[in-house]
Homo-oligomer: A and B are copies of this chain.
Amino acid sequence: MTFYKDHSKVWVSVDVIIFGFDEQKLKMLIGRRQMDPGRGEWSLYGGFVSADESIDEAAEHTLEKLTGLNNLYMRQVGAFGAIDRDPGERVISIAYYALINVKDYDEHLRKERGLEWVDIQEIPPLYSDHNLMVKQALKKMRQKIKTEPISFRLLPQLFTLTQLQRLYEAVIGEEVDKRNFRKRIKDMDFIEKTPLIDKKSSKRGAALYRFNKKVYSEDPNFKL
């Protein structure tokens, strides 16, 4: 408290947008806000940043509290700081988005928390500026999915090319040509065909693929 004491402090929170894919549509998790102000409104899940954690850690803790999962793909969307964005007090919030495979998410936990998966196309009005956060998160994610293989984070470990295509379409919001899509996938060495066949989705069966992280990280692009 010695250096900056002439300046005032503010509350800083994180809000996490959790995207999931249910084989058809891109969805996100929202819940009814459990505290005042705004109790009962649809809202993102958030938490305050405390003194002993970085903002990224705060986001991870929030996400883990909510999903029971960690090590999920998560990226910062940005800081939101309009003076009156929160109807109660001055709070600056940093938004993050995370990607999960819906099946990894415990339905029991979901119900206990009173959370719902809602279609990206049908997001209701949310608390505070959360709709804006979601809009920006979607924009970032659409950008990302074109340059990085984040799709895998939204699918089971093994997936069919049709699943991958449906996901891609759901994210970018338009249909793509099957043959052209598969051609592009074939060029990506980090998407490996396995000898396994999925028989659930069709009578004929579809080859299961998986993401090979090692191959990807050796790619000149390396990230993750």
Listed in ascending order, the chain A residues whose CB lies under 8 Å from chain B are: 1-4, 7-12, 35-37, 48-56, 58, 76, 78-83, 88-92, 94
Would you give the shortest CB distance from A164 to chain B, in whole angstroms?
A: 26
| Complex Cα spacing A91 to B82, Å | 19
A36 surroundings in chain B (CB, below 8 A): 3
Interface of A, secondary structure class, is loop
Number of copies: 2
Q: Do A35 and B3 have beta carbons less than 8 Å apart?
A: yes
CB distance from A48 to the nearest CB of B (A): 4
When the two chains form their complex, are residues B7 and A9 in contact, meaning their CB atoms are under 8 A apart? no
A4-B78 in contact given A12-B92, A54-B83 (Cβ < 8 Å): no
Complex CA gap A48/B9 in Å reads 9
Task: Indicate whether A10 sits within 8 Å of B83 (C-beta atoms), given known contacts A3-B36, A76-B78, A88-B4.
Answer: no
